[in-house]
Amino acid sequence: MVKEPLYKRPNEIAQMFSIGRATLYKYAEDPEFPKPLKPSEKVTLWNVWEVEEYFKKKTKEVENSSLKAKR
pLDDT mean across residues, the chain: 91
Question: What pLDDT is attached to residue 71?
Answer: 59
Q: pTM for the complete prediction?
A: 0.84
Q: Domain residues for 57?
A: 7-70
Domain assignment present for residue 1? The answer is no
Domain assignment present for residue 23? The answer is yes
Q: How confident is the model at residue 19 (pLDDT cuts 50, 70, 90)?
A: very high
User: Which bin fits 18, alpha (ψ -120 to 50), beta or left (φ > 0)?
Assistant: left
Total structural domains in the chain?
A: 1
Domain assignment present for residue 11? The answer is yes
Domain assignment present for residue 2? The answer is no
Q: How far apart are CA 13 and CA 42, in angstroms?
A: 16
Domain assignment present for residue 37? The answer is yes
